[in-house]
Structure 1
Amino acid sequence: MTEFASLKAKVGKFSLANKTLLMPDMSHAGNMLIVATLASYGIEAHLLETYKGLQLGKQYTSGKECFPCQITLGDLLYHLKQEKKRLGDAFLPENYLYFMAEAGGPCRFGMYNKLHRIILDSLDGFSKIPIATITSDDSYALGGLMPAEVVTHFRRTAYMAVVIGDVLDRMLWRTRPYEKETGQAEAYFQKALDIMYREMESHGRRKRFRKILDTLEAVVRKARGLIDPTISPKPLIGMVGEIYLRSHRQSNQDLIKLLESHGGETVNASIAEWLNYISYDNMQKARKEVVHALRQRNLRSLRQHFKD
């Protein structure tokens, strides 16, 4: 199979059923809660241990790629090599499915899964691992990954997981600069993440959103007790930039914690912000296309838009 044929045949929307889904890490809390959401739908997902495979990522790239491309590639190769070593002859690459989303436009992110595909095909034993992808061009539609009857509800639940991850991150950033004892805020953050993981796993598919949100509210309220009220307010710093680097602590060398050590309080742009922007942008494009179709009296185009 040629490289171009492989890109068509082994990068796309493949069913998640009966596969181990391998997910790259970025914003850890939100990603863990998505893993929990997938588990509630009976899908086995594994969040890849991150940064240990960086040298592998660099080994198979030229250095001209975006840094996140090297990190995610390294995380994948490191995990697969460890799995192959652990399982020996029982390692079956076709049992795995690697997830790598993409985006349109000039960003090189749209090429990550293509490069990863070429590299997997070049390595002995990994060519049979398909790459599942979703794209910002259609607001990350999930058709083909899971049964149509659960797609809408899963999207809502997964979005909730992302928002809860953002809330937990902000809870940490709000409390850690003012904590009574060093390390207290991070320990509570991990405990809170474990609690919300169980909530999403137990109640995500059952649509018990009120139960999940009540638990989240209780967790956040309890975090107030970590704050030392005698510590004066610190300068508030807003952090923006490329979504992966600002969200992946190892990539940015734990920049938020560094800023805190110099006397600041930091708020990072949320992951949900990106999803909201994508939805808004696609809605604006759809409105323009519908207006154009009406003016042209293009009924076929109108039907397709309403179907989408």
Structure 2
Amino acid sequence: MVETTTATNSSVKKKVLAGRKLYVPQMAYEGAKFICAAMRSVGIDATISPFSDERTLELGGRYTSGDECFPEKVTLGDFLKVTEQPDFDPSKTAFFMPSAGGPCRFGQYAGYAQMIMDELGYGDVLILSPTSTNSYDEVGENSRELIRTAWRAVVCSDIMRKLLLKTRPYEINKGDTEAEYERGIDEICAVLEIPNISHKKRMNLLLD
């Protein structure tokens, strides 16, 4: 069971990932799909966040000044779109936002997202922000298992993106490359999300 402690203005709350749907921002699309599949392999109910659109920028723009990196506006806006869904329940929702050290503002994304959720009355939302500083402990007891599968997911993402960009300019029938790209994503996801198999077997399935 994944458990994390989140500080708020009034109290310190312990939140668990079990029973929540985890939304992963599409940075980039195939990478998010593969990471979700890897998470499902260890029992996490993960799905990609909504596709970005004008509503994304409208919502994200309400809570950003323009001095931040553009991805913060986009990811926050997509998370806020989830809160507008009719079946949204803060206690059953989690958002995936990794963190990092150093001067990059990316390290502030998770904390800022939680602050906005708290201000909007969605304090029960969990912002899952695994980091290498604690060996990704927030992922829980399956962190080691997930890290290896997630790494393969990232490598697959890079390969698929390169194949898409390398092939699409030369396609004969418009749309054929995108169709094969989506089919490939589905096939890789089907392998990444298989639970309880060895890493060797998963790797062999990915190579087939």
Q: What TM bracket, shorter-length normalisation?
A: 0.7 to 0.9
Instruction: Measure the CA separation in 1 of the matches of 2:207 and 2:139.
Output: 30
The answer to whether the 8 Å contact 2:191/2:202 transfers is: no
Match in the other structure for 1:94:
91
Instruction: Measure the CA separation in 2 of the matches of 1:210 and 1:75.
Output: 32
The answer to whether the 8 Å contact 1:16/1:146 transfers is: no
Higher strand share: 2
Match in the other structure for 2:126:
130
Kindly name which structure, 1 or 2, has the bigger radius of gyration based on alpha carbons. Answer: 1
Match in the other structure for 1:141:
135
Higher helix share: 1
Instruction: Measure the CA separation in 1 of the matches of 2:37 and 2:131.
Output: 22
Q: Which runs of 5+ in 2 are unaligned?
A: 1-5
1:1-308 matches, cutoff 5 A? 5-6=7-8, 9=12, 15-52=16-53, 53-82=56-85, 86-87=86-87, 91-124=88-121, 126-136=122-132, 138=133, 141-147=135-141, 150-202=142-194, 205-207=196-198, 208-215=201-208
The total of aligned residue pairs comes to 198
The answer to whether the 8 Å contact 1:97/1:132 transfers is: yes
| Superposed CA offset, 1:225-264 (max 9, x none) | xxxxxxxxxxxxxxxxxxxxxxxxxxxxxxxxxxxxxxxx
SS of 1:196's equivalent in the other structure is helix
1:5, distance to aligned residue in structure 2 (A): 4.1
Instruction: Measure the CA separation in 2 of the matches of 1:144 and 1:113.
Output: 13
The answer to whether the 8 Å contact 1:30/1:162 transfers is: yes
2:197 maps to amino acid? R
| Superposed CA offset, 1:66-92 (max 9, x none) | 11111111000011111xxx22xxx43
- Percent identity among equivalent residues? 35
Instruction: Measure the CA separation in 1 of the matches of 2:59 and 2:204.
Output: 43
1:43 maps to amino acid? I
SS of 1:131's equivalent in the other structure is strand
2:172 maps to amino acid? K
CA 1:175–1:129 in 2, change beyond 3 Å: closer, same or farther? same
2:125 maps to amino acid? I
Instruction: Measure the CA separation in 1 of the matches of 2:84 and 2:34.
Output: 26
Structure scoring higher RCO (CA < 8 A, sep ≥ 6) equals 2
Q: Which runs of 5+ in 1 are unaligned?
A: 216-308
